Amino acid sequence: MGNLKEIRTRISSVTSTRKITSAMKMVSASKFKKSQDILTKYRPFYEHYQSSLEFVIGNSSPVNNKYCEQRKEISNIGLVVISSNSSMCGSFNQNIIKKTAETHYQLSIKYPKAKIHILCIGKKATDILQKKGLDVKHFSHAAVDKPDMQLTKSIFDELQEMFFKGELDMIQLVFNSFKNAAVQNQTVLNFLPYTVHKTEGFVNADVIIEPTPIDFIQKILPKFLLYKVHGAILDSTTAEHGARMTAMHQATDNATEFIRELTLQYNKERQAAITKEILEIVSGANALKG
């Protein structure tokens, strides 16, 4: 009977766990839907903003802007790593840590004399990378809980200040880009300096830009870079909620299957115990007759 009691305890424990994972799945599903709606509306705005900027740059003379300054020598590189603040989201954080390590290695090969600085948005990346012995600077972790343009702007202001002061010669963003609830693409984007891409189809287009293309670029480029950081945070947050929802769905299904197996095992053990007792009673009765 001791074994039956142990199985009942395990069934009770797994049932409680299933209730928790099921509740977390529903909460994540709600957050995922809201975050996905925001991202879906944000992407067309960002893409139109980007195409407008590139259109003007394509029709302008060489752009001389402090955000586009290419340093002759790359001495300091910043990797801005965006992760989550909490766990229970499958391999979401491990994948971004792995991508960060790959990017770190590639940059160290390409720029052997450069020092690579890790700048984190999100507690998990900060904790994991610090445990690996890396020197990590972190920004406001609240930016990934509830993405807000004001919080993003404070991060952007710090990044651009570090770039302008020469503390960083190059900055890249590393984050999970949202594809669907079950799939996240680990993405690395060049952030600063902004690389100007001229498109041949845009050159000499009959477009009037007021007051001048240079003024337009000077006003629009900083905003575009701000929106680029915010877009990466929105992408990462949506991907996180999707990953957690999927992980909790799988955990709930696994718990259900485990309960089914334990219940089957319990019934077999109980039937065996009953059969054993019956055999003992019959054997005792036969012994008394003899």
Under 8 Å CB-to-CB from 211, ≥6 apart: which residues?
Answer: none
Q: What is the pLDDT of residues 216-263, one digit of tens each?
A: 888 889 999 999 999 999 999 999 999 999 999 999 999 999 999 998
Where do the structural domains in the chain lie, given as residue ranges? 59-244
Second-level CATH architecture of 59-244? 3-Layer(aba) Sandwich (3.40)
- Measured between alpha carbons, how far is 190 from 67 in angstroms, rounded to an integer? 12
Q: What is the pTM of this model?
A: 0.86
Give the model's pLDDT for residue 180: 85
- Measured between alpha carbons, how far is 202 from 241 in angstroms, rounded to an integer? 39
Give the model's pLDDT for residue 38: 92
Residue 204 clears pLDDT 60, i.e. is over it: no
Share of the chain above pLDDT 70, in %: 91
- Letter for the amino acid at 151? L
Q: What is the pLDDT of residues 43-89, one digit of tens each?
A: 999 999 888 888 887 776 666 778 888 888 889 999 999 998 888 88
- Measured between alpha carbons, how far is 275 from 141 in angstroms, rounded to an integer? 61
Nearest CA to 144 among 242, 43, 240, 247?
240
Residue 94 clears pLDDT 80, i.e. is over it: yes
Give the model's pLDDT for residue 133: 79
Average pLDDT of the chain is: 86
